[in-house]
Structure 1
Amino acid sequence: MAATSTPDAVRVRRGWYLYGWASHTFPTVVVTVFMSRYLTSLAENAVGTHGRVHVLGVPIAPGSLFAYTVTASTILLVVLMPLVGAIADRTRRKRDIMLGCGLVGALACVAMVVLTGTDWPLGAALFVVAYLGYSTSIVVSYSLLVDLSASTERDHVSSVGWAISYLGGGLLLGLDFVLSLAVDKATLARIALCTAGVWWIAFSVPVRRRLPAVIGTPDPLGRARSALAAGFVQLAATIRHARGFPLTLAFLAAFLVYNDGIQTVTTVAAQYGDKELKLSDTVLLLGILLVQFVAYVGAIALGRLARVFGAKRVVLGSLVVWLGAVGIAYELQVKVAWQFFALAVLIAIVLGGAQALSRSIFSRLIPAGSEAAYFGFYEISDAGTSWLGPLVFGLAYQNTGNYRSALASLVVFFVVGFVLLALVPLRRAIAAAGNPVPDKV
């Protein structure tokens, strides 16, 4: 499948791109734009802005509820995603597992259309289900990058995949913007959340026709075990096996830190713009819509820069930009739309490229035959957010009542992530994993 010259290989790769187009509505429309604000509003309807909702007896500020919900979801994924990845590696039924998990997430989004008034418990539960479905499907999707591209072309393939994903999410968000001119905020949120799921399901249908049912290397344990039992066996084996690749783990640690910062910033952007900067829905939608289309250009551009300077240097440069973006966001003035738009462009340029190149770097650090299981660990951070960033943001807001202070708390993720990544010798890491080392890394 790594060859690109045959019509079948091109067709399969386009099917993989299409799943990104279909599923990226979840991080774009559901996570970044609507659910963070709508879940907060449902909680505020129940207890007021300064009240507390109670989850298992723990009092939570409405402004922290979404961040804590993401944290709880990601903690569940710590075991679930590597397990799903291990099952995918063992059974090689990557297409069906990816689409099946995605269907669960999409149906949860469709069900969000019923959320009204003070339905924050149902909203939080549906979001958790959608988040788990999306994350487990993306674990398998990421692992297909190894099956569908050679090591030397992965920066390009990964960048194109991310770029197309942003176009898909951006197009649906554009339709939501048009709808925002005709309906109230609550109705808009419910329709947008529901249609994100409908879009996801609709564009997943042709993906099934384009991808083969069985993809990957043969199952070394054979078919005697059940898929679930084999998954647990593979998960345990992967954990033991990973200890023999300390440089792979070193990169993963760096990624978990800096990507936690990236994903938390993008997740709380709409909430920050709404609650702290007092921007209208129209401005927020335009800004985040701008991000989707500029991110398409940025992903392609940073992919090309990686051919010249290497993916590691480009990612390090992007982290410097991210650090500056957080500082700029802290200083943004209330109700000044052009500042929000300018920051959106800056973030968009490095957003898709940093994610795409990190994915392609990690794909080269995985021993052959364990791609989906290893990407399960990787996706613990990249599935939208990890647990630590939202937790830090939520605690900072709950203790200060100030969104600017909460945002500033995320600076540490970019500083520490930069240092950790700079210390990873990628050439040695790729060679240690038994993979060919490209000219530029």
Structure 2
Amino acid sequence: MSTETADGTGSADRTTGRDAEAKSRVREQRGWYFYDFACSVYSTSVLTVFLGPYLTSVARAAADADGFVHPLGIPVRAGSLFAYSVSLSVVIAVIAMPLAGAAADRTGRKKPLLAAAAYTGAAATTGMFFLDGHRYLLGAFLLIVANASFCVAMVLYNAYLPQISGPEERDAVSSRGWAFGYTSGAFVLVLDLVLYTAHDSFGLSEGDAVRICLASAGVWWGVFTLIPLRRLRDRRTSRGGGGAAVGSGWRQLIATLRDMRRHPLTLSFLLAYLVYNDGVQTVISQASIYGSEELGLDQTTLITAVLLVQVLAVAGALAMGRLARRYGAKRTILGSLVVWTLILLAGYVLPAGEPLFFYVLAAAIGTVLGGSQALSRSLFSHLVPAGKEAEYFSAYEMSDRGLSWLGPLAFGLAYQLTGSYRDAIISLVVFFVIGSVLLARVPIRQAVAAAGNPVPERI
């Protein structure tokens, strides 16, 4: 028999309501994890492993005697095309992401926007099956579309995090999302490895096997996106009508930037994240180029090295989540940035043609990769004022991927000017050093309180 409160609500009814709400939240969280499961295959199989070396080989086949291709009449060294394409894709994403974030916050309809961005990216990735011969322009175009769409979708995906998890559980939820992503990336890489190494047995050429691996990543992305689209739910918003959302996108962006000036500590964290994450994203996207072109490693070695990264990144994300609960997310991230700096210094002196040393470096990357990204995301979620999640996460995503054009541009220019990938890779150290200094100067607990959010016991 339940007791009644002054408003006539029985305590048993309230308990039942809380249980139902908890179950609904867990269901959403599990659905949310699956978007990482869906899209991370693009990051690993396409961006990190196959597309860089393959697009470079296509560009070199189309290059002149001096090793240059001429898109739109601009001389570009074939070995720099992939880096420049990544850089251009994120410049385009800079324009699109704040508009998507503003539209989501104004309408409260994140799911349709997430679906549009995800399926545009998945379609472009699937279209990479037709990248062969001298079609380097097609490859560059599909890469730009897929990567820009990936960035926009991540704005909307990340904006769900503060809505589906409480402050104390956010580090764990974010880390599990990354773990789901690295699990799917590792599983698909195993399948890719089987297909690539045994392509003759399947009656395929090496190029055919690569194109199938690229296209299958797009199919995987599209199929598994159905799960979060079924489980995540939109929230009503009181911030304005949906009809004017797109038309007022730029005005909303300006208003968002002005609003963020009222939270200077949040901006300070974003600046630090922009700098060090630019280094992380560039290492991820250019690692296969460095391994194949500078170190002379074959595709099988690159696949197995990235597979090692994926496996260790799952454990690393979960382990760093536990470290954050004990020492705080800020200290844990700072420790990971020290490891990133040592990785680049080791990579600069890595001997060519020695797979064992490359595997050791891959193991170190895997240990810190997932955790540094997951904890950065969850830490930022504490710095977002309530009701402005998508707007602020659009700024975060600009730092996460949208403004990560500086690293690839610097990498591409270094190779364009020197012809040495070692010079290109060592230039990235500055991103981790400056990022560490900027992050160390941010008073995180004060920043959380200034955003109007409860301060966790450990942060």
Task: Normalising by structure 2, report the TM-score.
Answer: 0.92
Q: Comparing 269-278 with 234-243, which one deviates more in the overlay?
A: 234-243
Name the residue aligned to 1:132. Answer: 148
Name the residue aligned to 1:195. Answer: 216
Q: CA deviation at 1:393?
A: 0.6
- Whether the 8 Å CA contact 1:3–1:148 is kept in 2: the answer is no
Name the residue aligned to 1:410. Answer: 428
Cα distance change, pair 220–297 in 1 and its aligned pair in 2 (3 A): same
2:208 counterpart letter in structure 1: T
- Whether the 8 Å CA contact 1:3–1:150 is kept in 2: the answer is no
Give the alignment of 1:255-404 within 5 angstroms.
Answer: 255-383=273-401, 386-404=404-422
Moved over 3 A (4+): 1-5, 230-233
Q: 2:148 & 2:78 partners in 1: Cα distance? A: 22
Match of 1:186 among 181, 186, 207: 207
Cα distance change, pair 142–2 in 1 and its aligned pair in 2 (3 A): farther
Pick the structure with greater CA Rg: 2
1:83 counterpart letter in structure 2: L
Is residue 227 of structure 2 the alignment partner of residue 209 of structure 1? no
Q: CA deviation at 1:30?
A: 1.0
For the residue of structure 1 that corresponds to 2:246, the secondary structure is: helix
Name the residue aligned to 2:7. Answer: none
Q: 2:90 & 2:116 partners in 1: Cα distance? A: 19
Q: 2:26 & 2:101 partners in 1: Cα distance? A: 24
Q: 1:187 & 1:437 partners in 2: Cα distance? A: 53
Q: CA deviation at 1:3?
A: 9.1
- Whether the 8 Å CA contact 2:102–2:245 is kept in 1: the answer is no
Give the alignment of 1:71-82 within 5 angstroms.
Answer: 71-82=87-98
2:70 counterpart letter in structure 1: H
Q: 1:349 & 1:232 partners in 2: Cα distance? A: 40
For the residue of structure 1 that corresponds to 2:262, the secondary structure is: coil
Name the residue aligned to 2:458. Answer: 440
2:294 counterpart letter in structure 1: E
Q: 2:87 & 2:167 partners in 1: Cα distance? A: 34
Name the residue aligned to 1:232. Answer: 250
Residue segments in structure 1 that go unaligned for 5+ positions in a row: none
1:353 counterpart letter in structure 2: G
1:65 counterpart letter in structure 2: L
Name the residue aligned to 1:161. Answer: 177
Match of 2:444 among 407, 414, 426: 426
Q: CA deviation at 1:232?
A: 3.5
Q: CA deviation at 1:162?
A: 0.5
For the residue of structure 2 that corresponds to 1:31, the secondary structure is: helix
Q: CA deviation at 1:2?
A: 11
Q: Comparing 306-315 with 371-380, which one deviates more in the overlay?
A: 371-380
Name the residue aligned to 1:99. Answer: 115
Residue segments in structure 2 that go unaligned for 5+ positions in a row: 1-16, 200-204
Q: CA deviation at 1:423?
A: 0.6
Cα distance change, pair 24–55 in 1 and its aligned pair in 2 (3 A): same
- Whether the 8 Å CA contact 1:90–1:231 is kept in 2: the answer is no
Q: 2:19 & 2:290 partners in 1: Cα distance? A: 45
Q: 1:281 & 1:165 partners in 2: Cα distance? A: 22
Number of paired residues?
A: 438
Deviations 1:116-143 (A, max 9, x none): 1110001101111111111111110001
Q: Comparing 327-336 with 402-411, which one deviates more in the overlay?
A: 327-336
